[in-house]
Structure 1
């Protein structure tokens, strides 16, 4: 504790000062001139030093007072040190609390910034979605109007097409009646041509199409076959494929005569003549 007191720059060294004064007092109190010299007095009477009065400076009382002062000063310093420590600890606690509060505030600010950013992004996204929905509504409205116009046009077209279909159905019914009436006469005639033209009739694998196969068309090989496929799906007859290959112009001339007369025998006879001619060449 005395070391703490002496280390203060403005505090005097009170512990050493009384000791120095005490030493001087002791030396003065025990000083005897008779012991300080070996010279005998000049006269036979007492010396001058013996005649001086003894002086008591009260060093013991001063030392006690200094000791009490030192104790009080040390207690004051100790209390001050404790108070300084307490205040420093309290200051540190306050600083720690302030730092913690600052950290929490900073964290709250960061959370609020994140929420603000999220809200802004959400608002931007909702605004973009709103614009997209408005654009989609505009586009759908335009499509609806366009489809309504197309619907009206289609209705008119359907009505016109239905009229045309009805006319064609009526024509087909009339043609079917004519074909049926002609078929009654064609069946015996067809058997005659199949027998006499060495002909057989097969399916072509396609609806409304027949395959007519001839034999005995090549003089060098009676078993060699020649055939053609007849399409009957349309209003007029049409030859789709044939083996061997025939000139299309000649086939067209035969078909023209058949479609004019509507007699199948003309087609069968004409095609056989073309095959025989092709085999010879």
Structure 2
């Protein structure tokens, strides 16, 4: 460190110089002034140290704040990058979801169209099936009716065949009788003539039922008393002889015509 200036030493040496020459200078007459350079130097040194410490602390604080700022900026940039990446992923998922929805909607429309087509086809087939069922039912009814007619005709012929014997021919000829079908498979109509003395052409008839083992008279013209007819049928069912029926019914008709 440079030596400090000391005015007291300078003044004393000046005085000695002047006194050596034997003459008194003007400076010798000035008062002795002590400026306190040592104290000032100490205080300046302390101030400098404090200032340097303040500057150092400020520099450290600025560095720390700058480092924190850089770290914050880096974190923000990383967060922004992550958010941008998340947004891109969400956008990709959204696009994929929209494509999936569009595909599913297209498939749904196709399925609905297929269902509508199948439903229409099913309705047509059901209508055709119902029409075929009706045709089959009508055909079956016609077949049943024809079979029934054939059976009735066969049974009628069979029933007539039971009476188609020489004895029946004898009674037909002698009782002025003819036999016809009565419109039902189990009935025969016996028609008499020459039962009315006033009109030999007048007819009298009765319908014989062969549906069961015992014969039964269902209708007759003219009307006969039921009790008398039942007595004739009772004898017929006991004897199983058709001649009893034919003669008995003719007698009842003749009696009815006379009354």
Q: Same fold by TM-score, threshold 0.5 exceeded? A: no
TM-score (norm 1): 0.39
TM-score (norm 2): 0.42
Which protein has the larger Cα radius of gyration, Structure 1 or Structure 2?
2
